[in-house]
Amino acid sequence: MTAAEIKELDGQYLMHTYGRFPVVIDHGKGATLWDAEGKKYIDLTSGIGVCSLGHGNPALTEAIAAQAGKLMHISNLYYTEPMVQAAEMLIHAAGPGKVFFANSGAEANEGAIKLARKYSYDKYGEGRNRIVTLRQSFHGRTVTTLKATGQEKFHRYFFPFTEGFSYAEAGNLDEVRKQADGACAVMLEMIQGEGGVLPLAEEFVRGCEALCRERDLLLIVDEVQTGIGRTGTMFCYEQYGIHPDVVTLAKGLGGGLPIGAVLAFGACADVLGAGDHGSTFGGNPVCCAAANVVLQTVGKEEFLSQVREKGEYLRKKIEEFRSPEIKGVRGMGLMLGLEVEPEKRAGFVADLLDKGVMVLTAGADVIRLLPPLVICYEEMDEALAAMKEVF
Ligand SMILES: *Cc1c(COP(=O)(O)O)cnc(C)c1O
């Protein structure tokens, strides 16, 4: 099929839920992609923080092909090796606890919300079920996780939404404290990704943790975007020196295949028992085989220190442009946000694409960079040269 034919069929047969860029992507290698017409792009998106090991990674594709040929799916009615291996590696990385596997970020967050409500119900009975989240947060697209998302624009059309969420301003601990009565949990992203690459202040995060301990609220950290090496540590919360009760993961975990996970520690580990939760595809052997390669690779300190170095390099080089168009650069590791004029942003993104650089946006005025964690210096330099021209 030609690119024009593909676009035509997309328009005819797919729901128009996405504003797509006018490019048909065909294949990739590392952090480089080629479209159907053979044009080359440097990928600073990794499929929204998913393809952490890059495109066409041999170890990943071999593990996936081998597992697909051996056993593709069997349901959670039976044991499989890839699932227990992935769970063991996650728990070794995060600390003593247990894992539930899902298929996406929203589904992982649904699991965490159910877990928090049941933890409170088991201990305190009914009525203590609210979850405090932050303004500018993003937790997913299901009817419940839309309501968990602290942005009014996501609370339209689909009424009635799930009850039991309230919102506080990021950084305002008093506001969180005021909402603690009748709550069972506080749910935070360490860096609000979709909201605009907004890192939370360390003092605020530690304050939330102390409040949670004081009032026996669960601290849920949504690491769907920040987790699995993205910010230069396995989990971003490590850089805040906190110990969450529940952590959710998805995007980067499968290196390109759909997998989500809920990690629960300490007294939370056994809250969900037989029949309380489930997912037909959850912990699928092929997705877990992929996650195992990702966890083995990203879990090495040497790999993580390279992520930090590359993140520093990109940030430093972008700051060296001294472009008045860039109001600021923020983020951690290979999760960076460049603040620009909101009215100019779409033009910058289009110009970058034209020059062969794919970027994301976030919030109202941010250009978001989430390159594959394996991006090499040549690829970064190519992207930087194009960015310098555009800005
Ligand atoms: C992307 C994202 C989600 C939703 O993940 P899906 O896999 O799209 O359901 C939830 N939380 C955060 C922080 C995210 O970045």
Per residue in 228-237, pLDDT tens?
999 999 999 9
Mean pLDDT computed over 245-261: 98
State the distance from the centre of ligand 1 to the C-alpha of 227, rounded, in angstroms. Answer: 11
State the distance from the centre of ligand 1 to the C-alpha of 165, rounded, in angstroms. Answer: 17
The per-residue pLDDT for range 341-356, each reduced to its tens digit, is 999 999 999 999 999 9
State the distance from the centre of ligand 1 to the C-alpha of 249, rounded, in angstroms. Answer: 9
User: Is 23 within any annotated ligand binding site?
Assistant: no
Global pTM reads 0.98
The per-residue pLDDT for range 309-319, each reduced to its tens digit, is 999 999 999 99
CB of 136 sitting under 6 A from ligand 1: no
Looking at the CA of residue 107, tell me the nearest atom of ligand 1.
Answer: 9
Contact 254, 50 (CB under 8 A): yes
Per-residue confidence at 226, pLDDT binned at 50, 70, 90?
very high
Q: Which pLDDT score is estimated for 378?
A: 98
Secondary structure E strands in 217-339: 218-222, 246-249, 260-265, 328-332, 335-339
**Nearest-angstrom CA–CA distance, 7 and 278:** 37
Instruction: Identify the bridge partners of residue 29 per DSSP, sorted by sequence position.
Output: 32
User: Is 247 within any annotated ligand binding site?
Assistant: no
Looking at the CA of residue 109, tell me the nearest atom of ligand 1.
Answer: 10
- For ligand 1, atom 15, which residue shows the shortest CA distance? 225
User: Is 223 within any annotated ligand binding site?
Assistant: yes
Radius of gyration of the chain (CA): 21
Q: Which pLDDT score is estimated for 386?
A: 98
Q: Which pLDDT score is estimated for 62?
A: 98
Copy the structure tokens of residue 35.
């479209």
CB atoms within 10 A of CB 368: 23
CB of 106 sitting under 6 A from ligand 1: yes
User: Is 183 within any annotated ligand binding site?
Assistant: no
The per-residue pLDDT for range 272-330, each reduced to its tens digit, is 999 999 999 999 999 999 999 999 999 999 999 999 999 999 999 999 999 999 999 99
The per-residue pLDDT for range 160-218, each reduced to its tens digit, is 999 999 999 999 999 999 999 999 999 999 999 999 999 999 999 999 999 999 999 99
CB of 192 sitting under 6 A from ligand 1: no
Q: Show the CA angle centred on residue 300, arms to residues 102 and 53, nearest 5°.
A: 55
Mutation to probe ligand 1, out of 51, 136, 139, 142 (largest number of atoms < 8 A from CB)? 139
Contact 244, 220 (CB under 8 A): yes
User: Is 141 within any annotated ligand binding site?
Assistant: yes
User: Phi-psi category of 225—alpha, beta or left, where left has phi over 0 and alpha has psi -120 to 50?
Assistant: alpha
Residue 45's closest CA among 37, 35, 55?
55
Residue 188's closest CA among 116, 291, 294?
116
